[in-house]
Every structure is written in C-alpha cells, then in structure tokens.
Chains A and B, each alone.
Chain A
Amino acid sequence: MNLFEQLDAYLHDTLHVSLPAFGPELAICATILLMLVIRVLPGGNRFDSFYVALVGMGVALWWAAPWDAHTVARQEIFTGLLVYDPWTAYFRGFLATFALLFLIFCKISGIVDREDSPDFYTLVLGGLLGMCLMAASNHLLMVFLGVEMASVPSYVLAGIIKSRRDSSEAALKYAVYGAGTAGIMLYGISLLGGLLGSVHLPTMAHRLAELLMAAENSGGDLAQGELLVLALGGLMLAVGLAFKLSAVPFHFWCPDVFEGATAEVNAFLSVASKAAALALLVRVAFGMTSIPTPAVEVEPPVEVAGFFAVADEPVEGESPSDVSASTAEAETPPSLETLSPEEASSALAPARTYVAGLIALLAAITCTFGNLAAYGQTNIKRLLAYSTIAHAGYMMMPAAAAVVLIGRDPVNAQQAVASIATYVGIYLFMNLGAFAVIAFLRNTMGSEEIADYAGLVRKSPGVVVCFALILFSLVGLPPLAGFLAKFEAFAALANAEMWTLLAIGGLNTVISLFYYLRVVKVMAMSPEPDHRAPFRFSLVSVPGAYVVAMTLPLVVLILGWDTLQRLTLTAASRLLS
C-alpha cells in the first residue's frame, strides 16, 4: 500500500465514515465560529449571541438523533480515536439538551450582557465540545484532550465576573488544581501506554488480558513489577477523572469554585461537566476491564491501517473483520490469536476487581465526605457544591457495581450502567432547577446566604414549594424523581451484591436529609426578618415558569419512568457484547 492509497483511505474514512457520525460536534464548532465572526462584523457587537448559540445547539440536538434507536451500532471513528455508539449518542443528546435549557436559563437570569455574550457562550460551547469528546473517547489521548478541552473554558467561566475578587480566586484555584491533576493523569497514561504498547482502549484491554494471563501462568512472580506499574498508572489516570468528578480527595476546588462563580456557571459545572466525567469514567473503566463488541466495519473495502489504533481489530471469532491483512494484524502478537473473548474476559478478572474496588472506595469516601461537609455550610452555593460532591459519589457507585457485574452477567452490567445514565438525566433537572432558584433569588433579593432565605414562604410560597421539591428530590424521597435515580443506583449495588457500599449509600441518604431539610426549614418555618427589602418573585413570571418547568419533571416522572429507563438501557446496550 503506497502513500497515496493510504491517504485515500484516510480521506474516505474521514469524509464518509467519521464526519457523518460527528455531526453535533461539527454543529458546535460552526456555532462557535459564527459567534466569533459576527462579532467582528460591523454592528455585530450589538447582536445578542444567545440566538446564534440557541439555534446552533438546536441543530446539534437534532443531529445527535437518533439517540434512542437500537440501530446505532458500535462504530469506531477517526481511526479508533473516538467511538460512536448509543452511549455516545445518549450523552451528546443529553449535553445538547442541557445546553438548550442552560442557554435559556442564562438569558432569563441575565447573567451576560450583550457585550459579553459571545465570550460567555463561546466558552460554554467550547466546554461542551470537550465534554462530547469525553463521552465518545476510545483512546486515552482523546481522554486527555477531552478533559482539557472541557476544563480550560471552565476555568475561565469560573472567573467570568471580572470585578469580583473571590471569583478570580476561584478561577485560579480551579486552574491550578486542574493543571496539577492533568499532569498526573498524563503521567498515568504514559505509564499505561508504555507498558501495554497502546493507548487505544480495546487494544489495551487485550494486552492487559494477555499480561494478566501470563502473570497467572507464571505463578505470579514474572510480572509482579509490571502489575505494580499498571496499578500505579491506573491510579494516576483515576486522579484525573476524580478531579473532573470532584471526587474526594480531589474535590478541594469544588466548594471554592462554586462559592466564587455565579450560580449559572455552577449549574454548568455540576451538570454537564459531571455527566461527561461519568460517561468517561464508564468508558475508561469498561475499556480497561472488558473486551468490547467487535466494532462494525463500515463499508469501504479499503483497509484503514490503524495509525493510532495499533491493533485495530484484534477480536477474531466470528467477526468478519479478519479480512484486514494489514499492519494491524502483523503487529499483533501471536498469542492474541489464541485468546478467545471468553478467555480474555476471564483473564481480566483481577483488573475488574482492582477497578471496581478503586471506584467503590472513591465513591464511598466521596459520598460520605460530601454529605458530612455540607452540614455546616451557610452559603447555599457552597452547600450545593458539597451536595454535588456527594451526588458524584452516588453516581460512581453503580459504575463500581457494573464493573463487578461484567464478569457475571453482561446484561446486568448494562443495566447498572444504564442507572448512571438515568441518574444523570434526572440530576439535570434537579441541579439546573436548584441553581435557577438560587440565581433568580440572587437577582431579586441580592443574597446567597441560607440565613437570608428565612421565612421566604410568606413572600413567594410557590417558589419555596418548588425549591423544597427539588431539595427533597436531591435527598431521594419518593415519589420525586431523585428517588428513582437513587433507587436504580442502589438496585445496581444490590444486584452486584455489594452490601457494604449499599449500606453506606443508604446511611448517606439519611445524613443528607439534615442539610437539605435545614434549607427547607429556614424557608418554611423560620420567622421572616424585619429589615428585608421588599421584593416580588411569583411563579407567574418568566423565571417562575422556568423553575416550574424544571420542577415538574421531577414530580411527574414516576408516572412514566419506564420511558427514561428504556432510553438509558438502549444507551448502555452496546458497551458490552
């Protein structure tokens, strides 16, 4: 195969295979460019970028479809850097939906003036682009790129209010932490890549399986050092992910950033960023511990030599892809041929134990710490920062369960993963609603201290009822949607028979009651302060309607919960064979 044929093949792959599956990202890129271009046109700075962003995200959402179709197969794009499967589709749809709701939220709360709007929306969309890549990554290089592309705009967003000192402090803290953990993650990736000879996740899983099998056969002595380095590499990779998830002990940025940044940015960080990080966690955790479904070879008969993907298609079996008599196969060590998927899967059992244990430990600590630390907070944004930390813990629990279940029953493992997607979907409304209330209250009464919410129920009973419902949903009380999220997560743990983690999760639910309830208690039961400036915030207003629109799904979801469940089960359906 000469150079031209090679180029031809790449061209074909890029234009006809990869780019069509890359639509939403392209739409986001185009929107960003458009916003920047309009600004430099004469008179463009009087134009509100909100509408461009809104239309752009609408297109992205439309392009993200079909995200509930069973027809989406697992398909590696851009020579294995990214993967397009229902999981990708779900999270791209989720992120685009979130972006639409978020844009409307920002417009209503008026956080950005016309002057700044291109800056703000460019950063938001830029971050979203990175998050889409995180959800779709199939390659540790893309993992790193996605994390960085999502993080860098977030640093700026945290400090978007230039005049506020604590805002700038928050941004700096965030950036320093981010840089530090990114460095550690990169080191971890290099360790893993160096030892396994690839950073393409499916290839890594195969190599890992071989290595573990060899270690087992040799009685455990041979590869002791290598295994140690592997474990270290995995740990370092986990540091980067834990930072994005704000998991303990890499959460220190979170309360400060949430207190310093505006409620709008908090909503962005707590929902979109966390969702992408969870999607990525599942990608990495599953990628390292399971042998995925053979990717569907898409039409072109021209073989695309894996440039990034060293062994593009190592799974043989009955897969038709072994027509590839190319470099990929030549480089494949012979032992791989003899390793059937079942053998490989069972060889990966120690890796699963390690990964599941690591995630479970992080989840338990994160959840408990977040809930305990939230107890003493007086600032509502700081309280919700700890609440998001705690919820990150809850959301990581089913990931641990899923990894455990891979070895037992793939169908159950997928159900466990689907519960993460459900949780994220419900979490969107809970946190967007909570931060919307906070932002609107900031606009009307100029305070974000819990003490200033005292007796709010006299002034705006409707808003307090909605906020109380959102907070109780965060506790996880039936019949609110937060309970359904928690129920599915706990069900995954029960299915994996992880009783200790389940008990910790249950205990945490009880602990979390205290601080959410305190906010409700202050609003509903404390007497109103005498010196409060008069204000009006009724549900019959645009902000009020937005709050209702966020609360209503939480109340009625229990009636048609199976719709969401089917969607998420589909999303998880191709992660394992």
Chain B
Amino acid sequence: MSPLFLLSFVIFAPAVGALLLAFFPKEKGDAIKIFTLLVTLVTFLATLYMALPADGDAESGKFSFAEENVAEIQNVVSLPWIDTTAFRMDYLLGVDGVSFPLVLLTTFISLLSMGASWNIEKHVKAYCILFLLLETGILGVFLSLDLFLFYVFWEVMLLPMYFLIGIWGGPRREYAAIKFFLYTLVGGVMMLIAVLMLYFASDIRELTPDQLAAAQVELPEQETDSPVHTFNILALQQLGQHTGQFSHELLAGKSLQWWAFLLLFLGFVIKVPSVPVHTWLPDAHVEAPTPISMILAGVLLKLGGYGIIRLCYPICPEAGYQLAWFVCLLGVVSMVYGAFAALAQKDFKRLVAYSSVSHMGYVVLGMGVWSATAGNLYDADAWKMGMNGAMFQMIAHGISSAGMFFMVGIVYDRVHHRNLDEFGGLFGRMPVFSGIAVGIFFAGMGLPGLCGFIGEVFVTLSVWTYSKALAVITASVVILTAAYILWTLQRVYLGPAYKGPHGEALTPITPRELAIAAPLLAMAIVFGVYPMAVFNYMAPAVNRTVDDMAAWAQRTQAGAPAPETANITPPVSLAAMETPSLRDTDQNMQD
C-alpha cells in the first residue's frame, strides 16, 4: 500500500464512515453502533499494519522498525493543494516516531471508547457521526506536516467535541461544553497568529539543498526576488534551527520566535492542560459521557504535548532556550496543583480529571528540561531522557486515564452517583471489576511494573541536571499521587459493605465491559514490563529532535562554530541504556 493511500485512509476512513452513516435510518440504533465500531476497528487495523516492520520497502507504508534507526519522517505524502501567488499549502502527511505511537493510541482508544458507547441511547446516529468526525480530526493533527493543514484539523476537532459534551453530557453539560469550546478556541486563535507570524517571516530560499531535501520542499522553478514563504513544518524547523529568519525583534524587545513560541505554547498547554488554564478540564470531564471522557483524557490531551514537541521547540529553538524555565515551572506547578486538587475532590470523576492535570504536568516538565547548555558541554542526555519520558508518559497516561475514566463510568452506570464518600466495599460486590480497577489505578499512580512508572521516573531523573530544587518537588509529587490514589481505592473499593444509593444495581462486570477494560490493563502491564515496545518506535525520532536542539545550542550559544571533534561521548546513563540509539550528531554539526 502506498503511503498516500494508507495515511489518507487512516485519516479519512472515519469521516467517510460518518458520511455513510448519514444515510442510515435513524431508528436502527444497533446497526449504526455496529457500523461505527467496524469503522474504528478498520482504522485501528490500518494503523496496526503500519506498525509492522517495513523490511526496507519504503513504498509499503509500514513503519520502519526502530532497529533500522530511522529517525526521520517516513511515509511522506506531498501533494500540492493550494498554490497561488499569495499562499502555498500542501497536502503534506508523514509519520515518525513521535507521531506514530500517538496515532496508534488514538485508533486504539477510539475503538475501545466506541465499545464503551453501547449504552448511549439518545440520538445514536448523530452521536456516531460526531464521534467519527472527532477521530478524523485527531488523526489529521498527528499526521499532517503542513502547518495550515495541522491548524485546520486542530480546529475540526472542536465542533464534534462541543456537541458530544453538550448533548450527551451530564446536568451541567452546556456550561461545560461552551467552556471547553471557548478555552480551545482561544488557544486556536493564538496558534493562528503564531502560524501567520512564522509563515510571513519564512523564506525557504535561504536553505541549503540538503536542508531542502530534508524538509521535503522544492524551490520554485523560476528564481524570484520576493521571499518564498512556507507552511511546511519540516521546512520551518530547518529555518528555525539553521537561519536567523525568526530571530528579528518583533515587539517589546522580544524576537519573533519568542512570541511565536509563547503563542504556540499557550495554545498547546490549554489543551494539555496546565495550570492556570486547566479549569475547563474538570468541568468537561465531569459532564462528558464516559466514552467521550476516555477520548478526551486518553487522546485529546496528548495533542498539546505533541504540538510542543513537533512545533514549539524545533521551530523556535532560541525561544525554547530562553523560556525553558517557564515551561518547567508550568509543568511542576501543574503537577503539584493537580495532585493537591485531586486530594480535595469529593467527586470520583473530578478526582480522576485532576489526576490528569497532575500527570500531564510531567509531560510539560519532561519536554522543558533543556539540559544542553554550555555548562555541561551541550550534553543532551538528560534532556533526551526527559523528552522520552514525557512522550512515554503521554502513551502511558493515554492508557491509564482512559482506563480510570472507564472504571468510574462502570460504577456510575450502576449507582448513578460519583460521590466518593458514599462508596466503599465494591470489592465484595464486583470482585473482577475491582481487581482490574486497582490495577489501572496503580498504573496511573506509577507503580513499578506498570506503565505509569517509566514516564514518571524518566522525567524525575532528568530534572536533576536542570534544577535540583525542581527535582525534589517533582519527586515528592509521587507521594501526593500515591496518597490520593490509595485513599480513593480505599474509599471506593475497600471498607465495609456498600451502603450508598442503588446498592442493588451493583452487578458484576459484563463481558462487554470486560472486553474494554482487559486490553487497557494488559497494555498497562506490557508497557510497564517492557517499555521498549514503545521506545523502539519512539526513541530514535525523539532523540533526533533533542540532538538537533543540542546542536543548535552548541552552534549558536557557544558563539563559535562547533569543533570537528565535538562529538562528546555520552556518559552512561539510564537514557543511554533504555533508548537504543543516540543518533550521531555529526550531520547536524556540519550544517
């Protein structure tokens, strides 16, 4: 299968499914659900096919396995889309180790949450159409490499999500839906401004042939005097790292890339979300139906982290260097604040929502630990560890938080309340369910052997070289996390027999629920025991991104060209052991 077909299929199969659903009769609720499930399944299988080793066949659409050390963007699809004298946009898709695990996570969680949607009875047809459109939007963001296309997909997600919360949600759904919409739209507008800034500052004529090839762009055939702007994310990365086009002063003594970084970053952390722009998340989660909560926590939040690693740092390295403290601070504050807020919650779902805020703080922190400074000879190992940890944390959190929300949903479906003080003793009534729930909550807590541990420990260790104080705080958040998770488990599952409302409804877990919960727990265990299952795909691309940054820092911050022999032997570290390949930085230094 050619990359064009495969990637387009992955993105647009759900949308086409939604279109077909429009012709289903409204009354056939079950047929609609089964069809939707099939569409999500086919999409998942398509991404699974991509995960197979490519065996050196570049046209197969498969992902070149990490043993081959392919860190670059693969399966690039580049078709001209809009090409006038004013704008140039391409239908540019591609996948690399950063985006691929997230794509797989998206289709996986979508499949499971569609399975969790079976007890939706209201307006089933509209629900399924919106659900599939949402999936298209998310996959489009992960796979597009053209900034305009990226932005379009980013905003496409808004409308389905708004309606999914606003129509199928809980009592305060309309408030929660508009809050979600508003926050995300603000972020979107900031991104749009940054996108336009970068576009009009860019000029690909300054790139060398090598860089042009790496960025998958070609110069126009005729020589022109006027600048050739680009929306190509890869080209913008090259421009940001190798030219000074984004470095001129813009406003208030700050450079263009400083502002662009800030605007993009704020747009992304609204999605992540970080304190203080996180307040939409608890509301949206509490009101959203269970499957939508799973998508929201499992996938949607990851878009923010993905944006930061794909756009913010590679395009605006200088700004990232200057604002590293800001990024780290935001991450740590989110972790601490989220954990304390979670401790204070009385609502089961709200607690899980705040735990997401806390856990996603690790992601922001891990990405921000810019350790490659002059002080340590631009040794980027710690940062690599942090970045890998952050990426792993996104996957792990995608699994564990989707699972946690599903666990809450199962209980809520039975007893119709989420008041933590009225639970207790579920273990006696629903032993299998409680066992799975405890496993998934432990995964969220970061118990060694489960998926949450790897990401958290990587990030925590990496912070040490950046700031000892932050590292201490980061490490102590683990205690808070353990506190609220264990306390929750105790209040909900353990203790004397259940005395809350609707006690008679506490029936054991059904096979359908088990079929959704079991894969999540299985993945949590697999990733915890064998993290290389993720790192094999992810690490080369993540390491390359960090190496590029470190090389940039060495070139520009040292004030002198890098010596030929600057290839520092990395000290043996956890990152070096766990991440199979530290890509040779020679190439970057020649640039």
Q: Residues on A close to B: CB < 8 A?
A: 409, 411, 415, 418-419, 472, 477-479, 483, 487-488, 490-491, 493-495, 499, 502-503, 506-507, 509-510, 513-514, 517, 521, 524-525, 558, 561-562, 565-566, 569
Contact = CB atoms under 8 A, between A and B. Distances in A.
A510 B186 contact: yes
A562 B196 contact: no
B87 A491 contact: yes
B155 A415 contact: no
Interface stretch (B156-164, B300-308, B444-452, B559-567): B156-164
Nearest to A495: B200
B82 A478 contact: no
Contacts of B190: 506
Closest 5 CB pairs of A and B: A494-B196, A506-B189, A478-B152, A478-B155, A415-B86
Contacts of B159: 472, 477
A409 B183 CA distance: 37
B21 to A, nearest CB: 13
Contacts, number: 87
B193 interface: yes
Contact of B174 (A418, A513, A525): A525
A517 to B, nearest CB: 7
B203 to A, nearest CB: 13
A517 B181 contact: yes
B256 to A, nearest CB: 10
Interface string B74-86: 0000000111111
B166 A521 contact: yes
A521 B189 CA distance: 22
A510 B192 contact: no
A70 to B, nearest CB: 12
Contact of A569 (B85, B163, B186, B251): B85
A569 B86 contact: yes
A513 B197 CA distance: 24
B196 A409 contact: no
A565 B193 contact: no
Contact of B197 (A409, A494, A521, A525): A494
Interface in B4-25: none
Contacts of B226: 409, 411
A472 B190 CA distance: 19
Specify which of A478, A490, A558 lies most central, judged by the most chain B CB atoms within 10 Å of its CB. Answer: A478
Contacts of A517: 162, 178, 181
A97 to B, nearest CB: 21
Given A478-B156, A499-B250, A525-B166, 9 more contacts: A411-B226, A415-B85, A478-B152, A488-B86, A491-B86, A503-B193, A513-B182, A524-B163, A558-B152
B193 A510 contact: no
14 contacts: A411-B85, A411-B226, A415-B85, A477-B158, A478-B151, A488-B87, A499-B250, A503-B193, A514-B178, A524-B166, A524-B167, A525-B167, A565-B82, A569-B84
Given A477-B158, A487-B192, A490-B196, A499 B86 contact: no
B153 to A, nearest CB: 8
Specify which of A411, A494, A499, A569 lies most central, judged by the most chain B CB atoms within 10 Å of its CB. Answer: A494
Q: Indicate the size class of the contact surface on chain B.
A: 20 to 34
A179 B196 CA distance: 42
Nearest to B163: A524
Specify which of B81, B181, B196, B251 lies most central, judged by the most chain A CB atoms within 10 Å of its CB. Answer: B196
Interface in B56-110: 81-87
Contacts of B250: 499
B193 A506 contact: yes
B84 A565 contact: yes
A521 B155 CA distance: 19
Nearest to B85: A569
B189 A509 contact: yes
Contacts of A487: 192
B185 interface: yes
A409 B111 CA distance: 52
A506 B162 CA distance: 20
Contact of B82 (A419, A499, A514, A562): A562
A521 B175 CA distance: 11
Given A478-B156, A561-B82, A490 B192 contact: yes
B466 interface: no
B392 interface: no
A490 B162 CA distance: 25
A506 B167 contact: no
Contacts of A569: 84-86
Contacts of A411: 85, 226
Interface in B188-231: 189-190, 192-193, 196-197, 199-200, 226
Nearest to A411: B226
Contacts of A509: 185, 189
Nearest to B84: A565
A218 to B, nearest CB: 35
A413 to B, nearest CB: 12
Given A409-B226, A477-B159, A565 B189 contact: no
A261 B538 CA distance: 62
A433 B159 CA distance: 20
Interface in B392-423: none
Contacts of A503: 193
A558 B155 CA distance: 14
B174 A507 contact: no
A524 B185 CA distance: 20
Nearest to A573: B85
Contacts of A524: 163, 166-167
Given A503-B193, A521-B174, A513 B185 contact: yes
Contacts of B87: 488, 491, 562, 565
Interface string B224-265: 001000000000000000000000001100000000000000
B74 to A, nearest CB: 26
A510 B182 contact: yes
A524 B196 CA distance: 34
Contact of B84 (A409, A499, A566): A566
A488 B84 CA distance: 13
Contacts of B200: 491, 494-495
Contacts of A507: 189
Contacts of B193: 490, 494, 499, 502-503, 506
A514 B196 CA distance: 25
A482 to B, nearest CB: 12
Contacts of A491: 86-87, 196, 199-200
Contacts of A494: 193, 196-197, 199-200
